[in-house]
Amino acid sequence: MEGLKQRFNAGLDNLLCNRYSKGMRQFHKTVNKQLGEILLERGVISRAQMETILVYQKEKGILFGEALVQMKLGTEEDVVQALTCQYGFPYLPLANYEIAPEVVAAVPLNLCKLYCLVPIDKIGRSLTLAMSNPLNVQALEDVEKSTSCSVQAFVSTATEINSAINRYYETR
């Protein structure tokens, strides 16, 4: 199990070393703990469940939070709160959030669906997104390239983002 944990930590460290926004910024942990450890401390999962999730995660090739939700051992909200704690990304619940049509028009639907994100605000050349995985460097780079804007990310659940995509893109 120790080897699996080391590989998991090494993979996350490699992800964190990836830069975005023209190579100038990096993600920095505000709490030096893995997502599973935060969920363990918060009482969302037990140590045995964490080990089971890590095995499932490796088998499926998915993120720890995705594995947790797929296995029904936690909720999307649990993952979002842990990410907020871990990296300091602000959480934005989208249920009652209104997005202006010109903001929606700034990001193509295909990018929103591909990366599970939705634009929420735009001021000049600064675009704010709600994302289910704000650590996805490729998503940030692709949105920046597509919009010619600098991008800031909030975290929201995939369910909230998909509902917003349906509400703002699919019904217009």
Residues 109 and 78 in one domain: no
The 10s digit of each residue's pLDDT in 5-50 is 333 333 333 333 332 333 334 455 556 788 999 999 999 999 999 9
The 10s digit of each residue's pLDDT in 86-110 is 888 889 999 888 999 999 999 999 9
What is the C-alpha to C-alpha distance for residues 12 and 14, in angstroms, rounded to an integer?
A: 5
Nearest to 140 by CA among 32, 26, 31, 63: 26
Would you say residue 96 lies in a domain? no
Would you say residue 70 lies in a domain? yes
Residue ranges of alpha helices (H) inside the chain are 2-17, 35-41, 47-60, 64-70, 76-87, 101-104, 109-115, 137-147, 158-165
Would you say residue 95 lies in a domain? no
Residues 116 and 49 in one domain: no
Distance of CA 40 to the CA centre of its chain: 19
- Residue 12 or residue 128, greater confidence: 128
Parent domain of 19: 2-87
Distance of CA 95 to the CA centre of its chain: 17
CATH of the domain at 158: 3.30.300.160
Of all residues in the chain, the percent with pLDDT exceeding 90 is 66
Using pLDDT thresholds of 50, 70 and 90, give the confidence band for residue 172. Answer: low
The predicted structure's pLDDT at residue 84: 87
Residues 7 and 79 in one domain: yes
Residues 58 and 16 in one domain: yes
* Number of structural domains in the chain: 2
Residue with tokens 């202006």: 100
The predicted structure's pLDDT at residue 95: 86
Residues 77 and 9 in one domain: yes
